[in-house]
Chains A and B, each alone.
Chain A
């Protein structure tokens, strides 16, 4: 870069990276350090790469990603809290040649929407479920989620989650992987360049699988919520590696297509 002048740098021939065309030119409302923005970008990358922008319908949740529909230039529906898999089921059943995905948080998928998620997976709906697990309710200000780690503090567990009172953190992808209707379950993160690359491959695979009509594909992204966790973005990443990954280990949980 040092021996390039400014006109060389802006010359399209020297461009090494540009934002995908599916991601809108809008400032995101997410907190600095939040994982949502990276996952949105990856979705835009993959929709562009697979050239499926006109065939893709997203279903946004209730939670921090309630406004996901603002950021990706595709058709979207915004669901009631937890009900995204029910909407996606009907959309995919009536438009079977479309790519349909839900984008859900851990409160949405693992608490209030457990039934809708489990039954959509059990029916083997040919949809993609993007599951953002940051172990906390972000949008409402940091309450305990079903995924909150034991001992982890939140506004509704100020002294930490207690097994005796609150039960253990719920690992939904592991549970859903048991269902015959599910063809692909993977757990990823986006805290390093390497992790982002792996996560990108996983999301791409999930979209490709959904076109094979072999069942539901689930990509969990273990994420940070530095605002809800009351940590700096950098410290939140380290805390996630040291604490979240032992309960939610990264890697493929199930892949019946490649197996």
Chain B
């Protein structure tokens, strides 16, 4: 179906990631099957992009190998990604930390399922801490994007690559099992050609493509034995994170202009809260929704600003309460911040979210 020049398609969130990756000029995907995100690699294998754009798609022997393949290809200045779900992303933490230390760009998709342990294949948001607080070792931060629709699965895949290369950092698309599995209409991003090797050499002079004659070789490493050198690397990273925090905060506000009470939620929880706002408004309660799109950098300033004019916040998550800690830090005690969450793969209904607002905050 066509609307103007835009092609509207119906597909799963996981499928949209695969289409968006091919279209935005991705050079390679390396992954390992795990529910509920296996459609990402399955779609890529079905689409055979190696015949069209030349993109490499390879099923690795583990998530450990996948993330290290991403490291190797990223070290060559290539635009590459992997995808997994919670237990698999735990296995990738070593590689993510190494990528942060070696200043390598790459996209990691986590379509979260309930944990801890093998947990469940049902949706969850309990990997928030792991994603935004540094799941691997060392002082690093990872830009983390939270799609709330199939459209955003496509759009934020493209944005994740842009941020990864702008800030030379691993970047995460943190979705949940519902956003991955549900089907919605989507307008896929336009095709961008993959970079040629000459373009990579010009844009990313650090890439290991083979040392040109007479030039110094490139080394991709996160190792600095001298503590002063290692501190300098850390300072460089921290400066980059401060820029990220200033420049790259993204969020959506729904009915916040006149709101007395504001839900804060991301991903599928935000979709639930959108309906809860409607229920509240129909009962005469002026509710609004703040939906962080970037979980790191977190919309601290926006929440501070809201906390000067609202009576309280209700944070809804598919976890025991993780993002709520960052909301409380931003609110800093000015107004009450209440939390309601479901765990282990259970998704709250809009009525549950509304009741949480009414019972915990208003009554």
Taking Cβ atoms with an 8 Å cutoff, the residues of A that contact B are 53-57, 59-60, 66, 69, 73-80, 83, 86-91, 93-95, 98, 115-116, 119
**Contact assessment for B208 and A91 in the assembled complex, using a CB-CB cutoff below 8 Å:** yes
**Contact assessment for A80 and B72 in the assembled complex, using a CB-CB cutoff below 8 Å:** no
**Contact assessment for A86 and B72 in the assembled complex, using a CB-CB cutoff below 8 Å:** yes
CB B61 to nearest CB in A, in angstroms, measures: 4
CB B74 to nearest CB in A, in angstroms, measures: 8
| B346 close to chain A: CB less than 8 A | no
* Bound Cα distance A115, B61 (Å): 8
Chain B residues whose CB sits within 8 angstroms of the CB of A66 once the complex forms: 223
* Bound Cα distance A83, B210 (Å): 20
* Bound Cα distance A79, B219 (Å): 11
Chain A residues whose CB sits within 8 angstroms of the CB of B78 once the complex forms: 94
**Contact assessment for B71 and A55 in the assembled complex, using a CB-CB cutoff below 8 Å:** no
**Contact assessment for B69 and A74 in the assembled complex, using a CB-CB cutoff below 8 Å:** no
* Bound Cα distance A60, B102 (Å): 14
**Contact assessment for A56 and B210 in the assembled complex, using a CB-CB cutoff below 8 Å:** yes
How many pairs of A and B residues are in contact by the CB < 8 Å rule?
A: 123
Interface size of B by CB at 8 A reads: 38
Interface string of B24-62 (1 = CB under 8 A from A): 000110100000000000000000000000001010111
**Contact assessment for B223 and A54 in the assembled complex, using a CB-CB cutoff below 8 Å:** no
A53, A57, A79, A116: which contacts B208 (Cβ < 8 A)? A57
A56, A59, A90, A98: which contacts B30 (Cβ < 8 A)? A90
**Contact assessment for B218 and A75 in the assembled complex, using a CB-CB cutoff below 8 Å:** yes
Q: 7 tightest A-B contacts by CB?
A: A87-B72, A86-B68, A78-B221, A90-B72, A75-B208, A90-B69, A119-B61
| B220 close to chain A: CB less than 8 A | yes
A54, A77, A87: which contacts B213 (Cβ < 8 A)? A54
* Bound Cα distance A93, B64 (Å): 18
A59, A88, A98, A115: which contacts B210 (Cβ < 8 A)? A98
| B138 close to chain A: CB less than 8 A | no
* Nearest opposing residue in chain B for A97, CB measure: B210
**Contact assessment for A77 and B56 in the assembled complex, using a CB-CB cutoff below 8 Å:** no
* Bound Cα distance A123, B218 (Å): 28
